[in-house]
Amino acid sequence: MPEQDVFATFPAGRRTWAVGSVHGEVNRLQALHSQLQERIRVGDSLIYLGNLVGRGPRVFETIQHVLLFRRALLARPGANCADIVFLRGSQEEMWHRLLQIQFAVNPKQVLKWMLDHGIESTIAAYGSTAAEGLFAASKGAVALTEWTSRLRAAMRVADGHNALMSALRRAAYTEDQTLLFVNAGVDVSRPLSQQFDSFWWGATSFDAITAPFNNFRRVVRGFDSRHRGVVIGETTASVDGGCGRGGPLHAVCFDAAGDPAETLEA
């Protein structure tokens, strides 16, 4: 896959707004966007750090709202499509794999694991249930293929949903390597091009990053398994207050030097 389809690049010398995991909490996202629209300037970058979907009760409405907000920002004079980026979080990665679950070695076990990790609300958003998926898994590959095909068709019918899911990036960074944006973490033993699943499942060692990774001054993530809110370190930053689990949604504005300039909470 070409690098431009995997990573997004932001110009240096500008502000970047980073939004933490939303997890289907559309009310909090709407409240955050109400604050953000008054503060974001044309020329600022905006990045959603993954996990728009999953866990929360209103996944479909969350995608609808984020698409409308993006459209409103791009309608402003001087706005550029490249200024707004969406990362693939662990929830979106699970959804991607769910749509191909008929090829898994043990699909029923895989589906149960996904359900334990919050995928059920995304399944419901596109017109099905966990019970239907488990029943299909018990029937075999043909039934599973029919089930995932229905989910895929429902997503395609929803205007903009499939395009958004297809445009998710694995990471993003500023051209001057001031900031690297990821969903959950990085494997510091590997270069950026060889992170594989570390972007989604590499959170355990995140707090141990004490030196710049790959010459990036700071790594910013949108999912923290402890949901501690906004936590800024010398070389890292976490933006996750537990939205979708009863906690608030946060956004942080980083200045051109990579330092936090403003924090929003909803």
Per residue in 53-68, pLDDT tens?
A: 999 989 999 999 999 9
According to the model, what pLDDT value does residue 1 have?
44
Residue type, position 22, single letter: V
Mean pLDDT score, 129-137:
97
Using alpha carbons only, what angle is made at residue 32 by residues 29 and 36, rounded to the nearest 5 degrees? 130
More confident residue, 26 or 3: 26
Mean pLDDT score, 105-126:
96
According to the model, what pLDDT value does residue 206 have?
87
According to the model, what pLDDT value does residue 41 have?
95
Mean pLDDT score, 236-265:
97
Per residue in 155-187, pLDDT tens?
A: 999 999 999 999 999 999 999 999 999 999 999
pLDDT of residue 93 exceeding 70, the answer is yes
Mean pLDDT score, 125-154:
97
pLDDT of residue 200 exceeding 50, the answer is yes
For 243, residues 6+ apart whose C-beta sits below 8 A from its C-beta are: 20, 21, 22, 23, 25, 28, 56, 249, 250
According to the model, what pLDDT value does residue 184 have?
95
pLDDT of residue 2 exceeding 60, the answer is no
For 184, residues 6+ apart whose C-beta sits below 8 A from its C-beta are: 50, 89, 90, 199, 200, 201, 202, 203, 206, 221, 222, 223, 224, 225
According to the model, what pLDDT value does residue 126 have?
97
According to the model, what pLDDT value does residue 183 have?
96
CA distance 42 to 137: 48
pLDDT of residue 205 exceeding 90, the answer is no
pLDDT of residue 91 exceeding 50, the answer is yes
Mean pLDDT score, 24-29:
98
According to the model, what pLDDT value does residue 128 have?
98
According to the model, what pLDDT value does residue 4 have?
52
Q: Are strands 236-240 and 218-221 parallel, antiparallel or unpaired?
A: parallel
pLDDT of residue 11 exceeding 50, the answer is yes
Mean pLDDT score, 79-90:
96
**Average pLDDT value for the chain:** 95
Least confident of 3-7, 92-96, 146-150: 3-7
According to the model, what pLDDT value does residue 117 have?
96
